Amino acid sequence: MLQASEYKAQDYLAWLHDVKDFRFVEKRKQIKWSAKTVLLVFVGLMLLISIASSGLWLIIATNLPFRHVLGAAIIILSPILLSYLILAPLTIIQLLVQKPIEFVIIYFAKKKLAEHHGVKIAIAGSYGKTSMREILKTVLSEDKEVAAPPHSYNTPLGISKFIKTLRGNEEVLIFELGEYYPGDVKRLCKLINPDIGIITGINEAHLQKFKTIEKTVQTIYELADFLGDKPLYVNGESILARDHARPNHIMYSREGVNSWRMENAHSDLSGTSFVMEKNNVPMEIRSSLLGLHQIGPLALSADLARRLGSTPSHIRAGTLKTKPFDHRLAPSVDRNGVTTLDDSYNGNPDGVKAVIAFLASLNGRRFYVTPGLVEMGSKKEEVHREIGRELARAQIEKVVLVKNSVTPFIEEGLYEEKYEGEVIWFDEALKSFAALPRITVKGDIVLLQNDWPDQYI
């Protein structure tokens, strides 16, 4: 769980405090045996032996009162004691080994990037960063050399490792800025020194770490503070992002972007299409991405591409190549004719609302499968009740809930809105997945919404 918590003591201790049964703390993930992990396991074993030996020594070699009880207690509780004591060698490793190595890696990465002549685009926000990065990369790659970090490389070290791979001939570099604590975005901006910025939206995602929504806003808007008068696109469909935008910021939404106006928008299981119109000149956009909420990011990509000199034909060709990303509203149809929409990487309230709206627009019997959202902090009850209400208003026929601390709130929200469909409960997500083939038939549509990492189970 230290590894699952990215070796952050604060997050690990929060998990340790919440766990109720240590027999069931790891269900799906496997340990990645890095040098750091091997060293910690070795030190942990030595600590465990030392703790147990001290209890045995207390029993055998001392004459203290109650030595048998105390010694036995130390031996029995040694795994619990280890779970806390392991933080001591972890801190030493981080301070004496990890931090100096990371400092050198980041220093040379920053130096190399400062000499790079490509346009640097930075993306910040509570949600939608990876999707925006991939849409931009696909559209701009139609006529330019574009590079972006893979996967979720959005920390100083991850981005620095990516910078090391650059050849120097890239025309555009796209960076996703991870934010978990105040100051994170500012630190990444100092590393990247972006020319253009995008704020994809702000909501309760990671509220458990930020504690207040105000800190979330301040942290994400560190990108705006750094950019100053440089171009910054802001998602106008996100209330918090829109309300904190400044006069020089460029708003984008499914309604328009930078004087472009959207018309004839349509989305179904085959994809999304719309027309961008500016100065009576139309530009038709088609994409395999699903949902009307994708219009804003697609339109932004088109406008930014024009800013960087791409022609309308290149933009149309680029957007046509955009398609659903793994685990982000990615569709598939099994041999029984059941359509599955895998949205298991979508774990934020705005994304959930958009996906429920898309699911409601589809024909067929709809299943909504979820364990709920994590890191909602003090807003967890409010957020999950609203999800329930949204599902009821959308008249989704089957709601499949995985038992945990938040899904009862979804059920309460369902019945607050007089839900008339069926609620199906499962003890574990894996059991719900295994049961779906037995309870679905041809023509059904199954949405898999979010996935709880092991440290939250």
Give the model confidence (pLDDT) of 180-231 as tens digits.
888 999 999 999 999 999 999 998 877 777 778 899 999 999 999 999 999 9
Cβ neighbours around 60 below 10 Å, total: 9
Arithmetic mean of pLDDT, 284-289: 96
pTM, two decimal places: 0.84
pLDDT exceeds cutoff 60 at 455? no
Q: What is the pLDDT of residues 158-183, one digit of tens each?
A: 999 999 999 999 999 999 999 888 89
What residues contact residue 373 under an 8 Å CB cut-off, 6+ apart?
A: 205, 347, 348, 349, 352, 380, 383, 384, 387, 406, 450
pLDDT tens digits, one per residue of 397-445: 999 999 988 899 999 999 999 999 999 999 888 899 999 999 999 999 9
Domains and CATH numbers, the chain: 9-96 (no CATH), 117-320 (3.40.1190.10), 330-456 (3.90.190.20)
Long-range CB pairs of 319-323 (<8 Å, 24+ gap) are 319/138, 319/139, 319/285, 319/286, 319/287, 320/286, 320/287, 321/138, 321/139, 321/142, 322/134, 322/135, 322/138, 322/139, 322/287, 322/288, 322/289, 322/298, 323/287, 323/288, 323/289
Q: Is pLDDT at 453 greater than 70 in this prediction?
A: no
pLDDT single digits (tens) 301-329: 999 999 999 999 999 999 999 999 888 88
What pLDDT, in 10s, does the model give residues 221-253? 999 999 999 999 999 999 999 999 999 999 999
Q: What would the pLDDT profile of 91-115 be if each residue is shown by its tens digit?
A: 888 888 888 999 999 999 999 999 9
Q: What is the mean pLDDT of the chain?
A: 90
- Mean pLDDT score, 367-379: 85
- The pLDDT value recorded for residue 24 is 54
Burial (CB < 10 A; 0-12, 13-18, 19+), residue 247, is exposed
